[in-house]
Amino acid sequence: MDYPIKISPSILSADFGTLRHDALAAEKNGGCAIHIDIMDGHYVHNFSFGVNIVSALKRHVHIPIVTHLEIDNPDVFISDFARAESNMVVVQEDTCPHLPYTINAIKEMGVKAGIGINPDRGFEKLEANPEILREIDLLIIMAVYPGYGGQPFSPVTVPKIRRACAMREETQASFDIGVDGAVNSNTAPDIVRAGANYLIAGSSVFTDDIAASMKKLHTSAAAALAI
Ligand code: DX5
Ligand code: ZN
C-alpha cells in the first residue's frame, strides 16, 4: 500500500531485546524505511548503535535502512555505513565543515544522501551551496536536539518546513522534507500542512501496540492532507 506521507520508524525507541520483531512490525504496518540513529557520546550526550546494527537488521527487513549520523567527523565513517548497506546516510550539517564534499562522498558510495538541521541552525550553508539541494534525497528539519527520544516539539519547526519547501522550489530540487523528533498524532497535522512529507517517529511508534501506533500516525497525517 502506498501512503501519501512517508513514515520512517526510528528504532532508538524500540525494545532492543526484540529489535528484529519491532523493526518487522514497523515495516509490516507501513514504515517506509528503518531509521537508525548513530550516536557517539561526543556530538550528542548519548550512545546508541555502531555500524554492525545496519548489517544485522539488513538481514531481516525488506524496506530501506536510513542511517542518521549524530556523530562528530561523519566523513570518517561514511564508507563503513555504506559498506554495511545503508540505503541512505544522513549527516548533521553542523558536523560537516565542507558539506558539498561530504554529500559527494556519500553519493560516490552509491548511497542516497540526507542532511539534518538542528533547531538552532538556519539554512545559510544550504543557500550558499544550492547545488547540494539537487543532490540530496532528504532534508530533515530536527524538531528536537539530537540525542534522545521522547523530547518536546520545538516551535521553530513549522516555519522552517515552509522555508525548506520554498527553497526546494527555488532550486528546482526534489528531496523529501522530513521532520525528526516529537512526531506523533498531535504534531503530525501541523507538520504535514506546512509541507513535510516524511515523518521520522520513535516513541510514538514503538509502543506496546506498534500496528495501532503506526495506523494512528498514518491516519493523522493523511487527515491533515485532506483538509
Ligand atoms: C533524536 C533522533 C530521533 C529520535 C526521535 O536524536 O534523531 O530519530 O529517535 O525520537 P522521538 O520520535 O521519540 O522524538
Ligand atoms: Zn534521527
Question: From first to last of its 227 residues, what are the pLDDT tens digits of the chain?
Answer: 778 899 999 999 999 999 999 999 999 999 999 999 999 999 999 999 999 999 999 999 999 999 999 999 999 999 999 999 999 999 999 999 999 999 999 999 999 999 999 999 999 999 999 999 999 999 999 999 999 999 999 999 999 999 999 999 999 999 999 999 999 999 999 999 999 999 999 999 999 999 999 999 999 999 999 86
Q: Whose CA is nearest to atom 6 of ligand 1?
A: 146
For the question of residue 94 being annotated catalytic, the response is no
For atom 10 of ligand 1, the residue with the nearest CA is 149
Q: Distance, CA 111 to ligand 1 centroid (Å)?
A: 22
Report d(CA 212, CA 158) in Å as an integer. Answer: 26
Torsion angle (degrees, nearest 10) of CA 122, 94, 40, 164: 40
Distance 227 CA to ligand 1 centre (A): 27
d(CA 134, CA 223): 30
pTM exceeds cut of 0.85: yes
Q: In the numeric block, which cell numbers belong to residue 184? A: 506523533
Q: Is the CB of 195 under 6 A from ligand 1?
A: no
75 labelled catalytic: no
**Cβ–Cβ contacts within 10 Å for residue 20, how many?**
13
User: Which residues have C-beta within 8 Å of that of residue 76, sequence separation ≥ 6?
Assistant: none
pLDDT value at residue 227: 64
H/E stretch holding 8 reads strand 6-9
User: Does the CB atom of residue 146 touch ligand 1 within 6 A?
Assistant: yes
* Active-site hit among 37, 40, 80, 176: 37
Ligand 1 centroid to residue 184 C-alpha, Å: 11
Q: Is the CB of 114 under 6 A from ligand 1?
A: no
